[in-house]
Structure 1
């Protein structure tokens, strides 16, 4: 078993997908232990630290990487299996922004009412009890929320030598912000450039579907990911697999188009897996599918289309990569 550990210094963090040299090369079958900083770069530590004052645009939403996967070429698919995602600190932060989020005017939704107040919330994380403690800012109201760690931002370098800000989700991945991207899940990303150049960041202690205010419980993470390469198999949009479900993503504006992309990919994927014609697959997904929301506040919005594998006769995808990576994860845990 090949295990690589990597903890970036602040000046080694990346803020784009593409346009950056790899921080290292790994072989397929490698397990990577890595540290990711929160979306504020660790600069917001108290309720008095307003992001507009302590953070510098565009140095927000840093990712760890990119990593070059040996043998990866355009037309291949990277499989990233999230073995574990663990908060690296006993606190996490969230905030509202004046012109960012689903329930405020933005630069693309111009309105005349005053912008939202910039306000910060600090969450104490009790890792032993697996909870995050919400505390209202203007009252004594408090409640414990179960931790459900995930990564909001994972992606590869885009095609055509593009460099995209990490905050933007698209076909290369990016800031999809889906709570489905938790430990035990395998993410499939289409390779656009030699080596794939994948990077990971934007850890969330938990997040409601849609990330409505624009931020989750933003946390630094210690994450373990297993890497595999599927040669000669293309993936048009990021896809996810857990033990029970297959999922397709779509990112665009307006939200309806993000929904359509994700549903189209799941319908056509299901047809290819089962031998159904597209209208029969369309009918099946229409009745058996789910549609969890990723984000409704980024430069593109993200939707997920999800179906139980049992409805597809438990069809195997990507040459059984998820099962193999689960076994690799089990072997890794047995040595720790």
Structure 2
């Protein structure tokens, strides 16, 4: 297996999907060992750091890549298997940003009330315990404070390819090309299937989270730099309309849109189509089955588009080999890297 190692310098980050020259050309079946910067470009380091004072909003969500995959053509399917995600720092940051987040007014949801105040939380990572420490910043009545250890569950907020039609999209946006989907399901052991829109696919990854709740309510997770190991492969044809995920135990489809109902609908329609491909089901039969077995976790309700998942447990279905058992193949290859 070819192995490519890449730690980008700040001048090598990508800030968009599309419109960026590739940093590398790789063959299908290549393993990549990468470093990704956090969503804040490493600028939020202390609880006294405020976004309005230290962030450059043109330099948020830096991406590592893009990578040109040899032989990838529009209509093909790119398979990206996440082998391992390891926090690259012993701390991570989260914050509230004015007019950003699910529970505040925004420029699109215009209200007369003032925005929520800026505030930054720094989470300390305990590698031995595999936890991150939440510490309340204001005194709790009758105590010296409140803190709690939370399990560290690393994930990637962004995995995406260049969009179709020469579009250039911000790395803050999720859509059919993937992008900033912010789903906790994008974790080690996941294979992400994306439709190829341009020659070489031009995929990028980034926006590591040490943990995130479903919905990413305040708009920022426990954001941290990440050591990323993945394997990229190529399937000729079969491009899905919306990103598909496969774990050992689940299938999932991610839909991204506004309003949230349309993101959910896109994921549901995407899963109806996938069930039809896997089992030869008529669309209405797949719709009926989906209604009885699916779950609908939220990914984010904060980005330029919201993202919702339709998740189905494999144990409820007959055995099937999605994309010629590509997930199983990549899982076996991943053992060489761990």
Category of TM-score, reference length = shorter chain = over 0.9
**Secondary structure, aligned partner of 2:49:** coil
Q: What is the CA deviation profile of residues 77-119 of structure 1, one whole-angstrom value per residue up to 9, with x for unaligned ones? A: 1100000001000000000011000000001000001110010
CA contact (8 A) 1:274 1:312 kept: no
Residue of structure 1 equivalent to 2:131: 131
Q: 1:294 aligns with which of 269, 288, 299?
A: 299
**Secondary structure, aligned partner of 2:174:** coil
Are 2:188 and 1:190 equivalent residues in the alignment?
no
How far off is 1:276 after superposition?
1.8
Give aligned pairs, total.
333
Residue of structure 1 equivalent to 2:332: 327
Map 1:18-167 onto structure 2 (within 5 A). Answer: 18-139=18-139, 140-167=145-172
Partners of 2:105 and 2:299 lie apart in 1 by 20
How far off is 1:311 after superposition?
2.8
How far off is 1:262 after superposition?
0.1
CA contact (8 A) 1:50 1:120 kept: yes
- Structure 2: runs of 5+ lacking an equivalent: 140-144
How far off is 1:59 after superposition?
1.0
Q: 1:238 aligns with which of 236, 243, 248?
A: 243
CA contact (8 A) 1:270 1:312 kept: no
Residue of structure 2 equivalent to 1:177: 182
How far off is 1:272 after superposition?
2.2
**Secondary structure, aligned partner of 2:125:** strand
Residue of structure 2 equivalent to 1:254: 259
Q: What is the CA deviation profile of residues 35-63 of structure 1, one whole-angstrom value per residue up to 9, with x for unaligned ones? A: 00000000110011112111112211111
**Secondary structure, aligned partner of 2:336:** helix
Partners of 2:13 and 2:261 lie apart in 1 by 33
How far off is 1:135 after superposition?
0.3
Q: What is the CA deviation profile of residues 106-141 of structure 1, one whole-angstrom value per residue up to 9, with x for unaligned ones? A: 010000011100100000001111000000111210
Q: What is the CA deviation profile of residues 212-246 of structure 1, one whole-angstrom value per residue up to 9, with x for unaligned ones? A: 00000000000000010001221111100000111
How far off is 1:280 after superposition?
1.3
**Secondary structure, aligned partner of 1:332:** coil
CA contact (8 A) 1:258 1:303 kept: yes
**Secondary structure, aligned partner of 2:312:** strand
Are 2:322 and 1:317 equivalent residues in the alignment?
yes
Partners of 2:323 and 2:200 lie apart in 1 by 19
- Structure 1: runs of 5+ lacking an equivalent: none
